[in-house]
Chains A and B, each alone.
Chain A
Amino acid sequence: MTGLAQALLPSAEPVRFLTDEGAVAKGRHRHPVPDPGLLRRAYRAMVVGRRFDAQATALTKQGRLAVYPSSHGQEACQVGSVLVLSEGDWFFPTYRESVALVTRGIDPVEVLSLLRGDAHCGYDPVRHHVAPQCTPLATQSVHAAGLAYAERRVGTGRVALVCVGDGATSEGDFHEALNFAAVFKAPVVFLVQNNHYAISVPLERQTAAPSLAYKGIGYGVPSERVDGNDPVAVLAVLTSAVEHARSGQGPYLVEAHTYRLESHTNADDASRYRTDDEAEKWRRRDPIARLARYLRRRGHLTDADTAAWSAEAEELAADLRARMNADPELAPLGMFDHVYSAPTPQLTEQREVLRVELSAERAADEAEEALT
């Protein structure tokens, strides 16, 4: 293999800075260790994010969300993918990135609009530089490549980071995105959160490649793989990837090995396709516990910190509960808005049909109330 091709390949083993227990792992790395300030921010965001995730799961069981895909266990990737970006950089999430979006600073209620079902996208993508959560698989990777290329053309210095899962690496758009990004030197980072299952289908059925990170080499995209439950390593590798993109060298692919501790969504039953033993093994590699141990040993995390951040997480959960337990204000006629920049005559007619129906319903409700 030529040196050039060799340079595109990931490390032989996933990059890890921490052992499963949170001690410093042996080995040398080509990625610098993140500074303690960034690690502390990541810790705090993971604590808050996990509480948010648990609250969203509970709200789903109470019928307040139509569906919720949990990222419990994947917090290092959720938080790391956002914290390595600047404010102007673009983030392209899937439906599983709710914790990442909360970390980005988006109102948690706006994050959950899609899953509650009152709007397809609750937040303003332009304000946050966050694309709508994508439910088709890998389609947003091509958008990320195009937008990153546009930013490079304008010379803003901004990059894009796009999240996909292991299953989405089998989709054509993932490959077309890698190829376009490489050919046009688009500053985009592809983060594959390999949580080992695409709903129920295990990784072995997605690929025969030694690693999903190998999918970069065919397109000339440098790739790395990382222990996705090691927050230090995730932040280190993603920081390198973003710097690579921002410096004009084009795209970068990162595969993070992680695990979805919950089912695909509340509608799924993981016991049909995987064992408790397997999940238990990953539970012991908890990213929050590992980072806590690392930071405490270095004196970067105190009891006061953990108490304050736990309280912050509880506050967020309580606020989320209260606001999600109130029925959302619905505006049915709004479905006709923004189909086009201006309504067609046909849409105006159809809007009127619904408007008349709604006022008849309202009148009937009022009449019924008057009787009782």
Chain B
Amino acid sequence: MITMAQALNAALGDAMAEDEQVVVFGEDVGALGGVFRITDGLTAKYGEDRCFDTPLAESGIVGFAVGMAMGGFRPVVEMQFDAFAYPAFEQIASHVAKTRNRTRGRVGLPLVIRIPYGGGIGGVEHHCDSSEAYYAHTPGLKVVTPATVQDAYSLLREAIDDPDPVVFMEPKKLYWSKADIGRLARTEPFGRAAVRRAGSDATLIAYGPSVPVALETAEAATQEGWDLEVIDLRTIVPFDDATVTASVRRTGRCVVVGEAAGFAGVGAEIAARVQERCFHSLAAPVLRVTGFDVPYPPPMLEHHHLPSVDRILDTLDRLQRDDLPDTRFLALGGAA
């Protein structure tokens, strides 16, 4: 059995062994091996030139990575927590994302920004944000998030080899998830979603930490006669419209699940894309189950905030299987 944390560690180690230009740096990634131990042992094995601690300054870390990438290296930097990556946002939005386009292809930045994200681990304030929408909204970035141990390895290897900058979002909640994998291997390239469970009645679309919740929901829903399909996006950017569209056109119903606040989030984008492409196949509105539009709550309250199996099951009731209209929006006269 191997954990997602170990798979990520193996991906970094294997990439460093294969390519001497790969360097890993950030806060506490050296002797400590990172606060989540994702870089554990890399300094000991590959030396202080290959995996090193930096001053505590996220904008500096990302900007330094931009310079090193211009100088021929392939930096993989760690932001310690989702909300602690915000000081680097200007570097990411104004330089990491735009440099290839600004220089008309002459300067590419093959670098990876690893960000542990999301809640569900009892973290205190500023340690549980789902910040993927900020990055996904920024053209020039690829935004990737694994939901399985195998994908953690495969997607991180892809990210490090990718000629474009990748924001690699690691669901903290799944760091200790385990899988029995004989050999970690690279599987699919970026841009291919995975159908984690085939089904015919409705499609649940999820990514990262919400994928196991969606799968659990699908199992529970069989009791109520639902045969649900579950799609794991794997890469938010590039987005796999083909897999999503094919599934929803077949099932005719769709629920998007995500931890982030729903308003103007990735889930909103997915819902919009689905209705644009599947309108004539839809038997019900595309629904979302997301975090509430509140600052991430204190750890003792987070279970009320995160999309749960029960909340997703309740949402299935609004998919108009019995042709009954959704009563949720009565104030607006119903979902007419």
Interface residues of A (CB under 8 A from B): 119-121, 124-126, 131-132, 136, 139, 141-151, 153-154, 160, 172-173, 176-177, 179-180, 183-184, 334, 337-341, 344-346
Contacts and interface: CB of A to CB of B under 8 A. Distances in A.
A120 B104 CA distance: 9
A125 B66 contact: no
Contact of B72 (A125, A144, A154, A176): A154
Contact of A172 (B59, B239, B241): B59
Given A136-B90, A143-B64, A150-B68, 13 more contacts: A121-B104, A124-B106, A132-B99, A136-B94, A136-B95, A142-B60, A143-B95, A145-B63, A145-B67, A173-B60, A177-B60, A339-B140, A341-B162
Interface string B88-116: 00110011001111111111100000000
Contacts of A120: 98, 101-103
Contact of A147 (B67, B103, B162, B239): B67
B55 A142 contact: no
Interface of B: 49, 54-55, 57, 59-60, 62-73, 87, 90-91, 94-95, 98-108, 139-140, 142, 162-164, 191, 237-239, 241-242
B58 to A, nearest CB: 9
15 contacts: A120-B102, A121-B104, A125-B107, A126-B106, A141-B63, A142-B66, A143-B66, A146-B63, A149-B64, A150-B71, A153-B73, A173-B60, A173-B91, A337-B101, A339-B101
B70 A150 contact: yes
Nearest to A131: B70
A151 B238 CA distance: 33
A139 B94 contact: yes
A340 B142 contact: yes
A337 B60 contact: no
Given A139-B91, A346-B239, A126 B107 contact: yes
A222 B69 CA distance: 27
A339 B87 CA distance: 24
B67 to A, nearest CB: 2
A146 B68 contact: yes
Please name the 8 residue pairs, one residue from A and one from B, whose CB atoms are nearest each other, closest first.
A146-B67, A150-B71, A142-B63, A176-B60, A147-B67, A146-B64, A338-B105, A341-B163
Nearest to B110: A341
Contacts of A179: 55, 57, 60
Main secondary structure of the interface of A (DSSP, over half): helix
B68 A147 contact: yes
Contacts of A141: 63
A239 to B, nearest CB: 23
A145 B237 CA distance: 30
Nearest to B63: A142
A340 B55 contact: no
Chain A CB count within 10 A is highest, among B54, B55, B103, for B103
Contacts of B103: 120-121, 124-125, 132, 338
A210 B87 CA distance: 29
A264 to B, nearest CB: 20
Given A126-B107, A172-B59, A179-B60, A340 B100 contact: yes
Contacts of B99: 132
A176 B57 CA distance: 7
Nearest to B65: A146
Contact of A345 (B63, B106, B241): B241
B104 A180 contact: no
A131 to B, nearest CB: 8
B55 A183 contact: yes
A142 B67 contact: yes
B63 A143 contact: yes
Contacts of B91: 139, 142, 173
Nearest to A181: B64
A139 B63 contact: yes
A143 B95 CA distance: 10
Nearest to B71: A150
B100 A341 contact: yes
Contacts of A148: 67
A179 B62 CA distance: 14
A163 B36 CA distance: 38
A228 B100 CA distance: 34
B139 A339 contact: yes
A100 to B, nearest CB: 18
A145 B102 contact: no
Contacts of B191: 344-345
A142 B237 contact: no
B36 to A, nearest CB: 24
Contacts of A126: 106-107
Contacts of B66: 142-143, 146
A145 B98 CA distance: 19
A145 B54 CA distance: 13
Contact of B59 (A121, A124, A149, A176): A176
Contacts of B70: 131, 143, 146-147, 150
A340 B105 CA distance: 9
A219 to B, nearest CB: 10
Contacts of A338: 100-101, 103-105
A150 B95 contact: no
A176 B54 CA distance: 11
Contacts of B162: 341
A150 B111 CA distance: 14
A338 B109 CA distance: 12
A57 to B, nearest CB: 25
Contacts of B62: 142
B238 A346 contact: yes
A184 B71 CA distance: 15
A119 to B, nearest CB: 7
A119 B68 contact: no
Contacts of A151: 71
A344 B239 CA distance: 8
Given A120-B101, A126-B106, A339-B139, A142 B238 contact: no
